[in-house]
Amino acid sequence: MTALHLHDRMFEVHPLDEHASESRLGRLDARAKLVGVLAFVVASALLTKPELVLASLAVAVTFAASSAIPLRHTLRLYLGALPFILLASLSLFLFVGLDNGVAMWARTSACVLALIVLASGTETFELFSGLRRLRVPAIITTLLMLTHKYIGLLTEELSRMTVARRARGFLGGRNLLDRYALKVISYTAGMVLVRSSERADRAYEGLKSRGFEKEMVGWRTKRIAAQETLFMASMLAASVVLLAVQMELVG
Amino acid sequence: MHIPDGLMDPLVAAAGWIEFLVVLGTAIFLSRSKIRERNLPRVAILSAGIFVAQMLNFPIGGGTTGHLIGAALFAVMVGPVLAVIGMTVVLLIQALMFGDGGVSALGLNALNMAIVAPLVGWGVYTLTDPIVNGQRRIGRGISVALAAWASVFVAAGACAGELLVSYAISGGDYGIAANVSVPAMLGYHAVIGIGEAAITVGLVSYLFIISPELFSAGEPGTAFKGPAKWFTSNTARATAVILIVFALMIPLYIIYASEGRDGLEQTMEEAGTGEGSPLLSAPFSYGETYLQVLLAGIVGFLVVCLAALTILRLLKSPTRRNDPG
């Protein structure tokens, strides 16, 4: 049995990680992805010249397209960030000018896209072990891994309760004055919290029995290979070139 | 309120990261005895609970919905220190699992939703609870509602401040102009805050009925560890917490005061106002005015606290004498 299978059996594939294994990125080491994508995101956030921002958006779109993550999935997550992006770009467009508005839209979109691809193209547990191996404090990564594990359990709990609620004729309420609806919603949330804390002890015992001690460690000890080096190098090169042109060091 | 990357001026984002790391480091240091091995899963499961509770939409009206932020709820349940850590975990997961909220902007997102929101929520709850008699159901409802609403509104205010400072210092490359960001953020979140308050009150009263003993990771002075009394260390802590929130906004004003001139100068140059004209002195007085406003805010807050304290003492002393216990 390979390390991969062991990993999957112990931590069942999370429903949110459904696209990680089919994505081309899924096979790369999480550290390489984190360093490459985060460097690109930070560099893109620093760009202000419209042509450079559009170039970084092109890089992000290429990255998204080559990752083989379903377009629908990427767009669905992008839509979540869209209201803020539109508010900012439209207000810059109206108060400053077209260039600034377009630059704002392209810059935020490039960053959001790259981050969505990183998030969807990596198993979350592996992403967190990658963070740990990049020297992020153990308390943070362990909390992240535990929380991620519990979110899966609680989401199932919530969806069962939502079905039960709907079966009893609850449609979500009309507005903020709908006291009944607000009561139902708050009691549902309360029930999730109560059930969650009842599970905490059992979950803890379960972890203990599997050898949990203070820190949760990823046990896939992959080395940075040629693929990873190539990926990191291309992302870092794109970031450095974009930044250098922005700061007028070249060209 | 999840700010994506590339929206805020890099200087503002960097300031956010520094403040976030300092506060998070302090919170981890203060809670090191509480988040020992056994409590770690408890904090994690509460974070997961808040994360899942955020998935529940409440109706606002006209077919639109909002969702819980849960910072005040977290703080009321387990105290400000654990709430800061737990909310940070929630935000990190949202950024890394869904790309919701940026990485370079994580400092600012955490500052607004994982630091300012729970601190304000806990501060308001602790300060108002004894005044409205939080022992009773209605009193507790009022203090929890105020805490939840204030946490959302002040966090939105902080976000609007960051947006307008970004806009001012970048000369229109980043951020959102004050005349859009302030009404949009504050107006929307004043309404969202009502839903947050209603849900939080319902949730806390539900938890009180069902299982008040569940949240043993909490600190004294939280909803499940008995009421706080005025003149106790909790009042002082809550006052300190509110002052910390004020203090966290100071770097933003300093950035605005020092860097904002460039943006304004640029605008003036574009408008044809040359250097050396009397108008140019305005930016300096802007900076001073803002610091003065901030100082006035802090002084005003202390005066209100003192006044409330005095009134409370006057009101409370006869009842205390009649109290056989």
Note whether B6 and A86 are within 8 A (CB). Answer: no
Residues of B whose CB is below 8 A from A116 = 98-99
For residue A169, give the 3-state DSSP assignment.
coil
Both tokens of residue B314? 């006057």
Residue B232: the pLDDT is: 54
Both tokens of residue A50? 């419209």
Surface of A (231-250) touching B: CB under 8 A: none
Work out the widest C-alpha separation in chain B, in whole angstroms.
76
Residue B315: the pLDDT is: 60
| Domain locations along chain A | 22-122+223-246, 136-209
Of A48, A95, A188, Cβ closest to residue B177: A95
User: With an 8 Å Cβ cutoff, is A192 touching chain B?
Assistant: yes
- Tell me the Cα Rg of chain A: 22
Checking if the pLDDT of A223 tops 90, the result is no
Which candidate, A103, A148, A104, A155, places its Cα nearest to that of A127? A148
Surface of B (100-159) touching A: CB under 8 A: 100, 102-105
Better pLDDT: A116 or B39:
A116
Determine the Cα–Cα distance for residues A132 and A124; give it in Å rounded to an integer: 13
Of B96, B99, B104, Cβ closest to residue A42: B104
Determine the Cα–Cα distance for residues B308 and B303; give it in Å rounded to an integer: 8
Record: contact B96-A128, CB cut-off 8 A: yes
Record: contact B45-A46, CB cut-off 8 A: no
For residue B64, give the 3-state DSSP assignment.
strand
Determine the Cα–Cα distance for residues A130 and B99; give it in Å rounded to an integer: 17
B61 pairs with which residues across the strands?
B64
Within-domain flag for B25: yes
Mean pLDDT over all residues of chain A? 83
Note whether B171 and B161 are within 8 A (CB). Answer: no
Within-domain flag for B254: yes
- Mean pLDDT to the nearest integer, B64-90: 89
- Mean pLDDT to the nearest integer, A51-72: 92
Residues of B whose CB is below 8 A from A105 = none
Determine the Cα–Cα distance for residues A121 and A108; give it in Å rounded to an integer: 20
User: With an 8 Å Cβ cutoff, is B78 touching chain A?
Assistant: no
Determine the residue of chain B that is closest to A215 in CA distance.
Answer: B37
Residue B272: the pLDDT is: 52
Q: Where are the alpha helices (DSSP H) in chain B?
A: 10-30, 40-53, 71-78, 80-98, 106-109, 117-128, 137-170, 178-210, 233-270, 282-322
CATH code of residue B172: 1.10.1760.20
Of B2, B200, B215, Cβ closest to residue A197: B215
CA distance B46 to chain A (A): 7
Instruction: Write the CB contacts of B292 (distance below 8 Å, at least 6 apart in sequence).
Output: none
Record: contact B99-A81, CB cut-off 8 A: yes
Residue B277: the pLDDT is: 43
CB-facing half-sphere around the CA of B294: CA atoms within 13 A: 21
Determine the Cα–Cα distance for residues B85 and B80; give it in Å rounded to an integer: 9
Determine the Cα–Cα distance for residues B185 and B192; give it in Å rounded to an integer: 10
Residues of A whose CB is below 8 A from B175 = 88
Residue B270: the pLDDT is: 54
CA distance B255 to chain A (A): 17
Within-domain flag for B56: yes
Record: contact B99-A115, CB cut-off 8 A: yes
Structural domain span for residue B82:
10-259
User: With an 8 Å Cβ cutoff, is B60 touching chain A?
Assistant: yes
Q: Is the pTM of this model over 0.90?
A: no
For residue A205, give the 3-state DSSP assignment.
helix
Instruction: Write the CB contacts of A72 (distance below 8 Å, at least 6 apart in sequence).
Output: none
Record: contact A147-B89, CB cut-off 8 A: yes
Record: contact B48-A151, CB cut-off 8 A: yes
Determine the Cα–Cα distance for residues A110 and A62; give it in Å rounded to an integer: 10
Q: Residue A242 — pLDDT band, cuts 50, 70, 90?
A: very high
Checking if the pLDDT of A211 tops 70, the result is yes
Note whether A41 and B3 are within 8 A (CB). Answer: no
Of B3, B68, B175, Cβ closest to residue A189: B68
Within-domain flag for B304: no
Distances (CA, A) of B35 to A15, A141, B38, B81, B217: 29, 14, 7, 11, 8
Note whether B41 and A203 are within 8 A (CB). Answer: yes
DSSP, residue by residue, B291-319: HHHHHHHHHHHHHHHHHHHHHHHHHHHHH
Distance of CA B270 to the CA centre of its chain: 37
CA distance A48 to chain B (A): 6
Record: contact B45-A88, CB cut-off 8 A: no
Determine the Cα–Cα distance for residues A77 and A160; give it in Å rounded to an integer: 24
CA distance B1 to chain A (A): 8
User: With an 8 Å Cβ cutoff, is B93 touching chain A?
Assistant: yes
Of B49, B59, B199, Cβ closest to residue A174: B59
- For the ranges A27-36, B114-123, B174-183, B282-291, the lowest mean pLDDT is seen at B282-291
Residues of B whose CB is below 8 A from A92 = 172, 176-177
User: With an 8 Å Cβ cutoff, is A45 touching chain B?
Assistant: yes
Surface of B (280-299) touching A: CB under 8 A: none
Q: Residue A172 — pLDDT band, cuts 50, 70, 90?
A: confident
- For the ranges A54-58, B71-75, B145-149, B236-240, the lowest mean pLDDT is seen at B236-240
Note whether B38 and B206 are within 8 A (CB). Answer: no
Cβ neighbourhood burial of A236 (10 Å; 0-12, 13-18, 19+): middle
Residues of B whose CB is below 8 A from A189 = 53, 56, 68, 199, 203
Determine the Cα–Cα distance for residues B211 and A197; give it in Å rounded to an integer: 10
Residue B282: the pLDDT is: 41
User: With an 8 Å Cβ cutoff, is B243 touching chain A?
Assistant: no
The domain total for chain B is: 1
Record: contact B49-A197, CB cut-off 8 A: yes
Q: Is ipTM strictly over 0.90? A: no
Residue B276: the pLDDT is: 45
